[in-house]
Amino acid sequence: MGRIRITLALVGLGLGSLISPSRAADRDVLEERRRIDTYRSNYISYSTSDVNRSTQDGHLKVQTSITSEAVHWEGISLNISYTMLALWDIFQESSPFREYDHNPEAFVTVRHPWWYCKAVRAGWMHQSNGQVEGPTNRSWDRVFVEPIFVRLLKAPLYDVEVYPRLWSVWGMAPQNQRIAVVNDFSGHFGGNLTVVVNHNVGQRNVGRYVIEVGKAYRLLELHLNTLPASNHYATFIQIFGGKGESEVNFDRETISLSVGISLITEPFQ
């Protein structure tokens, strides 16, 4: 989703003069394929919720999310992504990390524009808190399909993106009981609507507003480019309500507010 790129480049002193134009072009293509982009939101924030009422303390909520093209061929690519959400009880004694949630994905992206649909993703995703089998273990897999709709609002200062996603849960044990519980709170459909506000045509974006919905939760994120002299970081505000904010408490109702800093991302390209 994001377009902040980390280019894996081979750079050496005086190397450019030793590379022929054709080899340089091949190198540029290879570098483009190897880029790593931001995927979902990347942020660090202070978060407080009704789960913390017993301690009256908040915690740090940190999310890192990246993606990369592993293979590309004529508008079709195989993408690998990884998202990690960490909850850090920094104000507790010894400042323990309460939870790490891992979400790797592998999916095929088909770029074949039709109407406002620019691409379609289909693949597999895994969700886990990394715990071994036991009462705190949370782990399941999903297969999904996700069309990507862009530029739905024809305005020079706004870009609107919609990411509806259909999925099916599988790969849990014991199958019947766990799948029934997860399907009950997550359903089989979710979506993400993103509005990017630009300062002027061709200039930096000054705001990114994300509304994400599922069967049992609602999430609102505001990324506001209010930080002075920064084109890469934004003021971050997130409001979450419902179930599934973390893997351990996936079936518990939660209302939380998070405030911090996020990376600025651009519309889907």
Closest CA to 194 of 148, 247, 250, 141: 148
Q: Which residue has the tokens 């200039």?
A: 203
Residue 90: is its pLDDT beyond 80? yes
Q: Which residue has the tokens 């190397």?
A: 15
What count of other Cβ atoms lies within 10 Å of the Cβ of residue 114? 9
- pTM for this entry: 0.78
Q: What is the 3-state secondary structure (H, E, C) of 180-230?
A: HHHHHHHCCEEEEEEEEEECCCCCCEEEEEEEEECCCEEEEEEEECCCCCC
Q: Are 253 and 242 in contact (CB under 8 A)?
A: yes
Please state, in angstroms and rounded to a whole number, the distance separating the CA atoms of residues 105 and 96.
27
Please write the tens of the pLDDT for every residue from 251-265.
678 889 999 999 887
Region 215-229 average pLDDT: 81
Q: Are 235 and 208 in contact (CB under 8 A)?
A: no
Q: Which residue has the tokens 């994120």?
A: 221
Please write the tens of the pLDDT for every residue from 157-178.
778 889 999 988 775 544 445 5
Give CATH for domain 41-263: 2.40.230.10
Domain ranges for the chain, please list them: 41-263
Most confident of 80-94, 164-178, 191-205: 80-94
Residue 43: is its pLDDT beyond 90? yes
**Which residue type does 222 have?**
L
Please state, in angstroms and rounded to a whole number, the distance separating the CA atoms of residues 87 and 98.
6
CA dihedral 199, 200, 203, 209 (to 10 degrees): 40
Residues 6+ apart with CB under 8 A from 5: 35, 36, 37
